[in-house]
Structure 1
Amino acid sequence: MASGTALIYDEEMTTHKLLWSDPICDIEVPERLSSSYEQLRSYHLVERCVPVPAREGSEEEILLVHSLEHLEVAKSTQTMNEEELKRVSKNYDAFFFHPSTYRCARLAVGAALQLVDAVMAGKVHNGMALVRPPGHHSQRNAANGFCLFNNVAIAAEYAKLKYGLQRILIVDWDVHHGQGTQYIFEEDPSVLYFSWHRYEHQEFWPSLRESDYDAVGLGKGKGFNVNLPWNKVGMGNSDYLAAFFHVLLPMAFEFDPELVIVSSGYDSGIGDPEGQMNATPEVFAHLTHFLMQLANGKLCVILEGGYHLKSLGESVCMTVKTLLGDPVPQITGEMAPCLSAVESIQNVRAAHKPYWKWLAYEDTSFLQNLSTKSHLLKKANSNPSTEDESQITNNNNTVKVERFLELHMKNILLPMPPIKTAATGSEVSEHFFPEHVQLVKEMDKTEIKALVSGFYADLVKEETLLSLGSMFVILDKILKKEVCNGIAASPTAALSAAVALRHSVRFGLQRVLCVFVGDMQMIPNTEDGKMLVINICEKEQSRKTSCKHYISLNWKEDAEGNDFFSAVLGFILPVAYSYQPNLTVIAVGPNRSLGISGISLLVALLRGLAESRIFAVIEDTEISLMQSIAKALVGASTPPFGIYVPPTQEKVNKIKALRDQFQQEWKMLQCSVKDGISRN
């Protein structure tokens, strides 16, 4: 199995630079590359990656996407003087040539292709290419927006040709619309292209009508071009996460890509003068983590924009740390998408309803008066968010943003535990688990008695409590941050979960999430909000309380076993991110209604929360289940789901009813514009 993360960087790509004064182009500086690389070095990430050399993309490879005429013009600039370069640059929108530009652009293309080769050949699991000039604006016959050759588009065509791929997902999280990539693939159903971008009702560059939500592709490509326009500045972490939960990820799981390529622009991050958005660097760790669950982990991240050097460097580091499998930092900020973001999300869902099975039963009828509503929202949302971070951004004060980020990164970057994933050695032989799981010694009776000291007498008799030694040793190490996550077998999962929740709160945690799969015989008291329990079961559990901190989700996975992600993405993940737990407990008890793939997906996606601190306790000691959960805990990608079978209308209605019931409490559930949602 492939392991490791590739990193591609060639200092020669910093020789491409602006030779004259141009207020539009002067932000695209060589330091974007060199300072990002130095930031990676400062975090000691470079030595942890697999170095892959860049190479020049060949003319044949460039012609996979671009016209011969465009190639010849680019080639001719190598011998031009400054005046000639200036004259030919004026033929394009926001682009400049330097005598080294052609060589650098070929290196950028070649770096992208080297990354695809390394990932597809199994030399590495994933990787990142730091390249200049960027690519996603460049079109078949034109340079555009700092971009000469479309690196990502060429990489996708190359992967299709060389490896016979039939489904490639391109995720463009740059703050500008990658219109070049859209034009290249808008009739191609083998490439699913997703872009979010600052749009402001067509007032922000490139100011194209075809950048709006209703540009869904052409001909056979209808439904495979997904534009999510941001119609105001100040979008933050919760807006980006909501876009992934309610648009991108459901489409991606249904599409089932064989390769994921990211047009990785960080001008969508805080402090950037182009984006004026408020997303902090750790959100890119979360987005990367989600995409790593697709295509068996085959993920190629290729740099696009990013013009605030500190914000860019930190965001690049967050991406690479996640690719390497490090714990995902806690996300910050209020978990509530703004009204403008929710409107854009629902517009996209409505526009794509005819093309995607997961949207087949969604109700979008209330968008009939959309044009009127859009006009009203445009007026209502003309001012950016009033969060502190937005004030920092809008002041456009580079030094102030740098100071904020220095403090912010210190707060979210905590030391890695000595052990990533642990299990007790008494459960099974050392050959049972994946190699990265470390076995730890179980507590003896004296240690357990000293630890619990009668605190759980109302839950369990002492003799039964002593049988939970394997559970206590793992949980205690997670709480003390000696271990990131762990797995334990238990004769009684419901009892173990109840004890684990109480023990975690007693330890001092303020928010503990428990997702229980199966019949939960004992439901803890969740009134104080320190525990949130989501019980996934086949039959309705008796509920003594209507408290928002206990939720019963009745879900029986279909025989094909691939409809559960609709519930995970449409309900469980938004609730969990709204709650922001300090620890996640996942318990599998008797009469579980989910298959192994569904449970593994749940574990894998929830690793993004609580600094990846997950305690899994399993009553069913079926070897394949234990192994699959352990693989998810160590960071292995989730297994492919196969041909997508959508959930029944009954199940969709169930999720919608739960969303309607809980969306005012857990605001990340909001994915439709309705009366009564009044936030900016």
Structure 2
Amino acid sequence: MEIARDSKDCVRISTGVVYAEKFAEHKCLWDENHPECPERFNAVLRRCGELGLLNRCSIIQPCSVAEAQLIALHTPELISLLKSTNNCNDLNHLENLASQYDSIYFHPSTYDCSLLAAGCTIKLVDEICKRNIQNGMAIVRPPGHHAEKNDFCGYCYFNNVALAANHALNIGIKKVLIVDWDVHHGQATQQMFYEDNRVLYFSIHRYEHGTFWPNLRESDFDSIGEGLGRGFNFNVPLNATGMRDNDYMAIWHQLLLPVAYEFQPEIILVSAGFDSAMGDEKGEMELTPAVYSHLLTSLMCLANGKVAVVLEGGYYIKSLAEAAAMTLRALLGDPCPGIGSLGPPSEIMEDSIMNVIYVQRAYWKSLRHQKLYSILEPPEEDEQRHMPSLKYLHDGIKPTKYPTRDGYPVSTPSFLHYVAINLNNIIASTKLLKPEHKVCLVYDAKMMDHKNYEDKNHIEQPARISSIYKFLEDFGLLKRLHILKSRYCTDEELKYAHNESHIVEMSSLNKMTIKQLIEKKEIYQSVYFHQDTYQAACLAAGSLLEVVDSVMKGESCSGVAVIRPPGHHADIDDPCGFCIFNSVAIAARHAIKQYGLKRVLIVDWDIHHGNGTQEIFFEDSNVLYMSVHRFDGGEFFPHNGDGAASLVGRGEGEGFTVNIPWNKGNMGNAEYVAAFSQVILPIAYEYDPELVLVSAGFDAAVGDPLGGCKVSPEAFGHMTYWLSPLANGRLILSLEGGYNINSISYSMTMCTKALLGDPLPRLNDGLAPCQSAIDSINETLSVHHIYWSTLKPRIKSLPAENVLTEEKKRSSRNPPSLSSNILQQNTNGQKNEVNLLCEGQLFQELSLSEETNKVPVDADNEKNDDRSNDDQHQPPSSQPSASSTNSSQSSSEASNRPTLRQFLSDNLQALVNEEMFAVVPKRTCPHLPLVEPIPKTGINVQTPCSVCNDPKENWICLICYTVQCGRYINEHMMMHNAESGHPLVLSFSDLSVWCYPCQSYIDNQVLYEAKNAAHLSKFGTELAWSYGTVQVNLS
């Protein structure tokens, strides 16, 4: 609870904005129609002013960057060159100079404006880091994310965001997340942090297999960083135009949010180009301006709310200005406008997302939801498989001189007319709600009159609500809330969820004696009665209706109901599980009947399944009920099967009940992050609710005596924040269970702070769900993908094998010719021993006989290989000689397997068709010095996985010599690598050695001892020494 307690004084402060009128001076003097024009800047300021946004911000004084800061990321020569253009009025000189760079122009003010753009961005980040402002926006130009260390590029001169990120690192920030949603790849930002694990760079950009500018191979999904930065570079390539809101939200839910929560940044920088917005002639995408507020809001609960948005591109002025204004509005904490029902991502986007997951899942545990398949095995019935592939279609040729005029697309008048009408309609229909009160609250101490006669210490005790109320007061929140008067629920309102006999039965409690009440409770499951129970339950339900009224009438944006007794177990005709009347169910029906709502979402995160709420709406399509709860195969309360994933509703309500059942205890923050990002949020965005009600039980919280889980109070705040962009912000929390007084008090306080827009504490680092939770989530996905189209891509499985080899990558750009000489040079020019790969899988137990020893090994060409004399190429005396090797391989087992020449000859057509291709293991690796000597006990290839005891497809770590299973069993060796950092492992199947950091197979004499020991165990013979210099001729 310490983290939640320490957040008491962490309240929302102002949003900052920095800009300078001088930015309007920078323009192209020889092309008056150039898209990177001053009107881009002016229009953004004008629209933000029209919406009254600038007046609500703290204005930061602009300043220029110091040269010492520039030199950190740009060369002195580049800086001097730009400085030489300062106040230069020789247009011919400026244009000739511009022709040396890709998509660049120079103006006499370009140098000053570039210094100012970088300086303003750094100043904004500095103010955020010092907590002088909460978050902010730099409305600057020229943009920066294409500016390389020693090159101007793409309208960019100095890399504003990269310089600001570097500044943040220099002043003590340890982890920076850069989200680049400009439609062009910010290749320069990528380059600057490509080997740096302190910066996670995440870019979504138009690519079209390299045919879209900047036409770089490094912009594809498999460029994931190098060295320490491997896994910290994300590229999501858009290989088609016309991407929409649903495509981008799918990226957020499936990739960005899970990884961001695992990374846990300390500040977020957004390279906010708006050239993906509808109408932009460069991007040709179709994002609505409103979706940018959703993209940004979902990030703002990370990094203690430290978010800096920096203007990059965007060239259709109206959509640029509107999208930028919606972004600033989100920074100010205003409710997100509705964006309608979102369906699944397009197939092309789905492929890109799956490709990214495939290359990054080894580095991020939060991306390991997809099942794995082996490409050597036939698909199971109804199995949907994804096969990653690479394609690069650009010729890669750079011109010696770049065009300086008309080098940009121009839209036709008819298209511009169409876009203008469409965009104007969207803007006019977008509701920009901002109620007078951000959050309302209802509480009444009379609800404490409901108590247990027999057990004064019963866990559902009156102090549950009084303690929450006191915490809200101690945290200074009550004075920031709109306090509502409580009221009793009428019988007619109770009938929204309950039949008359149940209401009459409960109303008679106040006439019973204590003895009668004690006897009566035995009829029901886990309830107790008091003479004031009926009044307290009516007060709880009626008070929640007051919150609904305040929100639906536009008086309050959101609300909190601190009420008891709880309600979600109470069904149509019975009390159950401490619950008398189902307050949330009554509230949902009240909103439908009184305000004409057609779609109400109920999210139930109480650790117990809300069986009563499910029953009430089981045949109702107007209410979507989603519950994440502990199930334990039906053994956890309420001890029935109602909470199973297979229960989906009935009749018109089929598909509108969604259960995510945990089948064990100890679930924590990571599991709930996964449940929301993989299931709850995607379905919620497809459903497009008009009101969101939360059955906010806190018995999944750490320390709860019933739940047995470990969700932190601040995590409940994050869950609240994730739901807040829905339904124009109309979100209401109603207390259900939770029986550790401290836990529920801190938890509801964190939720209330989230609704108020206070920065939330960061969650623990390295969040990744356990396998049991992944299984539960996948079970729900498998059931509900037929009802919710947005879930369909998530049920695809990925190949367990490495199908993206260097040979395959190269062939996508320049397919090699296949002749009788099958051996090909790899990208470094070496020729090495060939292992064969059929669709990515190394063939197992292939005998290379004497021809293995004839493959050439040119050690002099190896990088980092310091072997320099012939003695190094000879096997030491302790190794088997060539003759003894040939003798040992003449056994019947070996002779029955094909030679390399025979195998290649028999499979020539498969090679031609690229159904099979050659993998050349690297002969050097920087991690080889880490290899430890084999244990004295040797290596036993029959050893099962030390974690799951599975005997199949195991690997042995060459550093600690633990044995664990491979990718398409239970991935334990991958997890071992992620946890220990041990890089090199040896396969018991084919005796190959894989390096995780290098993402490559390795073959080096350093590995011989371990491979030989495994070979002895597997075949009873020594492994051939294959590091000599004899040749092979396969023709």
TM-score where L is the length of structure 1: 0.91
Counterpart of 1:563 in structure 2 is: 671
Out of 44, 57, 60, the residue aligned to residue 68 of structure 2 is 60
Counterpart of 1:452? Answer: 493
Name stretches of at least 5 consecutive residues in structure 1 with no aligned partner. Answer: 376-392, 676-680
Alignment of 1:36-435 (within 5 A): 36-80=44-88, 81-161=90-170, 163-332=171-340, 334-360=342-368, 362-365=370-373, 397-424=415-442, 426=444, 428=469, 431-432=473-474, 434=477
| 1:37-92 CA distance string (max 9 Å, x none) | 00000001110011001101111111111001100000001143111111111110
Per chain length, whose mean CA-contact separation is higher, i.e. which structure has more relative contact order (CA < 8 Å, sep 6+)?
A: 1
**Which of 576, 594, 599 in structure 2 is aligned with 1:511?**
599
Cα offset for 1:659? Answer: 1.7
**Deviations along 1:227-268, whole A, 9 cap, x unmatched?**
000000000000000001111111111111011000000001
Note if contact 2:300-2:307 (Cα within 8 Å) is conserved in structure 1. Answer: yes
Question: Who is 1:438 aligned against?
Answer: 481
How far, CA to CA, are the matches of 1:648 and 1:194 in structure 2?
25
1:566 Cα deviation from its structure 2 partner: 1.4
Counterpart secondary structure, 1:422: strand
How far residue 478 of structure 1 moved from its aligned partner, in angstroms, is 1.3
- 1:600 corresponds to which letter in structure 2? G
Match for residue 8 of structure 1?
18
Contact 1:557–1:564 under 8 Å retained in 2: no
Distance in 1 between residues matched to 2:163 and 2:345, nearest whole Å: 34
1:517 Cα deviation (Å)? 2.1
Contact 1:342 1:670 in 2 (8 A): no
Distance 1:457 1:643 in 2: 45
* Alpha-carbon contact 2:545-2:590 (below 8 Å) kept: no
Q: CA 1:623–1:590 in structure 2 vs 1: closer, same or farther (change >3 Å)? A: closer
Structure 1 residue 366: deviation in Å?
A: 7.2
Deviations 1:433-479 (A, max 9, x none): 6257423332444xx43983854552645644244332121111112
SS of 1:267's partner is: coil
Q: Choose the corresponding residue for 2:560, options 487, 492, 513.
A: 487
1:312-367 alpha-carbon deviations (Å, 9 max, x no partner): 01001110111001011111354221111111000000011111121346335478
Between the two proteins, the alignment pairs up a number of residues equal to 656
C-alpha distance in 2 between matches for 1:436 and 1:135: 43
Alpha-carbon separation, structure 2, partners of 1:499 and 1:288 = 33
The one-letter code of the counterpart of 1:141 is: N
Could you say if the C-alpha distance between residues 557 and 601 of structure 1 is closer, same or farther in structure 2, counting changes exceeding 3 Å? farther
Is 1:599 equivalent to 2:721 in the alignment?
A: no
* 1:195-218 residue CA offsets vs partner (Å, 9 max, x unmatched): 011111111111111100111111
Contact kept in structure 2, 1:361 and 1:652, CA below 8 Å: yes
Flag the 1:124–1:674 CA change in 2: closer, same or farther, 3 A.
Answer: same
1 CA distance for matches of 2:767 and 2:53?
Answer: 40
Amino acid at match of 1:137: H
| Alpha carbons 1:237, 1:332 under 8 Å: kept | no
Q: Residue 119 of structure 1 aligns to which amino acid in structure 2?
A: I
Q: Which residue of 2 aligns with 1:390?
A: none
Q: Judge conservation of contact 1:337–1:667 (CA < 8 Å) in 2.
A: no
Whichever residue aligns with residue 16 of structure 2, its letter is A
1:313 aligned partner, one-letter code: A
Amino acid in the other structure paired with 2:774: V
Residue identity opposite 2:772 in structure 1: E
Superposition pairs of residues 460-539 of structure 1, within 5 angstroms: 460=503, 461=506, 463=534, 464-490=537-563, 491-494=565-568, 495-507=582-594, 508-518=596-606, 519=608, 520-522=610-612, 523=614, 524-539=616-631
User: Do the aligned residues in 1 keep the contact of 2:259 with 2:367 (CA within 8 Å)?
Assistant: no
Q: Which amino acid aligns with 1:122?
A: R
Partner of 2:889: none
8 Å CA contact 2:444–2:486 kept in 1: the answer is no
Deviation, 1:601, is 1.9
**Is the 8 Å Cα contact of residues 258 and 298 (structure 1) preserved in structure 2?**
yes
The answer to whether the Cα contact below 8 Å between 1:437 and 1:630 also exists between their aligned partners in 2 is no
Judging changes above 3 Å, is the alpha-carbon distance between structure 1 residues 152 and 602 closer, same or farther for their aligned structure 2 residues?
A: same
Separation in 2, partners of 1:437, 1:367: 59
Over alpha carbons, which structure has the higher Rg?
A: 2
Distance 1:42 1:367, change over 3 A: farther
Q: In structure 2, which of residues 756, 762, 766 is the aligned counterpart of residue 634 of structure 1? A: 756
Provide the C-alpha distance between the structure 2 equivalents of 1:561 and 1:104, rounded to a whole number of angstroms.
45
Match status 1:665 vs 2:787: yes
**TM-align CA RMSD:** 2.6
Task: Report the CA distance between 1:554 and its aligned residue.
Answer: 1.7
> Is 1:650 aligned to 2:772, yes or no?
yes
In terms of mean alpha carbon deviation, does 246-255 or 519-528 score higher? Answer: 519-528
Question: 1:542 offset after TM fit, Å?
Answer: 2.8
Q: Does 1:584 align with 2:584?
A: no
Contact 1:289 1:323 in 2 (8 A): yes
Segment drifting more, 255-264 vs 479-488: 479-488
Per-residue CA deviation, residues 115-156 of structure 1 (Å, 9 max, x unaligned), is 011101111100000111000001000000000000000001
Q: CA deviation at 1:525?
A: 2.1
CA distance in 1, matches of 2:68, 2:478: 43
User: Contact (CA 8 Å) 1:271, 1:401: kept in 2 or not?
Assistant: yes
SS in 2 for 1:301: strand
TM, length-normalised to structure 2 = 0.61
SS where residue 257 of structure 1 aligns? coil
Structure 2 match to 1:542: 641
Secondary structure at 2:101 match in 1: coil
8 Å Cα contact 1:65-1:184 kept in structure 2:
yes
Q: How far apart are the structure 1 equivalents of 2:228 and 2:287?
A: 35
Contact 1:308–1:398 (8 Å) recurs in 2 = no
Distance 1:366 1:92, change over 3 A: farther
Letter in 2 for 1:4: S
- Cα 1:450–1:114 change in 2 (3 A) is farther
Q: How far has the Cα of 1:563 moved from its partner? A: 3.5
**1:509 alignment partner AA:** L
- Specify the alignment match of 1:380 in structure 2: none
Which whole-Å CA distance do the structure 2 matches of 1:367 and 1:434 have between them? 57
SS of match in other structure, 2:658: strand
Native 8 Å contact 2:486 2:539 kept in 1: no
**Aligned mates of 2:366, 2:432 — CA distance in 1:** 38
Q: Tell me if the contact between 2:246 and 2:345 (Cα under 8 Å) persists in the aligned partners.
A: yes
